[in-house]
Amino acid sequence: MVVEESEIQRAIGHPSPLLAPGPDMTPNSVQKRVTTIAPRLILDLLTPLVSHVFHPLSLKKAHIIVRDKPARPSYDSPSSFRVIVLLQIFSKILETIINGHLSCVARVTGLLIPRQCGSLAGLSVADPCNP
């Protein structure tokens, strides 16, 4: 699997400086600055991980926050809560790239069923209604 600079840019997107940092405590503003100054740096760091299909234990740490959804009549059900996972910056980028590759493979090999459109890019709620 080869990682391209465009995938890094797409994975990073436009990080908001207001979002909470993950366990590495690196603010998104630092990520934005690194990609502005040295965009190849992140590519050079992540390419070996992707090519060797290796996800280091140090990148698997996350902070998980469970928040109750406002205005729920009862908090007896798990659906009354929202789980927020704060990942490290490199984990976020790596996850986005791998998800993109897996989505592409799943579409090409026919593993995705258009009638099951839950949060799949390019599929809308109306697609299951169309034969």
Q: What is the pLDDT of residue 42?
A: 80
pLDDT at 86: 79
Of 92 and 124, the structure prediction assigns the larger pLDDT to: 92
**Per-residue confidence (pLDDT) for residue 100, from 0 to 100:** 81
pLDDT at position 88: 79
The whole-number pLDDT of residue 51 equals 82
d(CA 79, CA 12): 29
Nearest residue to 59 (alpha-carbon basis) of 27, 91, 15:
91
Which phi and psi (to 5°) does residue 78 adopt? -60, -25
* Residue extents of the structural domains in the chain: 5-113
Pair of tokens at residue 64: 């998980």
pLDDT (tens digit per residue) in 34-91: 777 777 788 888 888 888 878 788 788 888 888 888 888 788 888 888 888 877 778 8
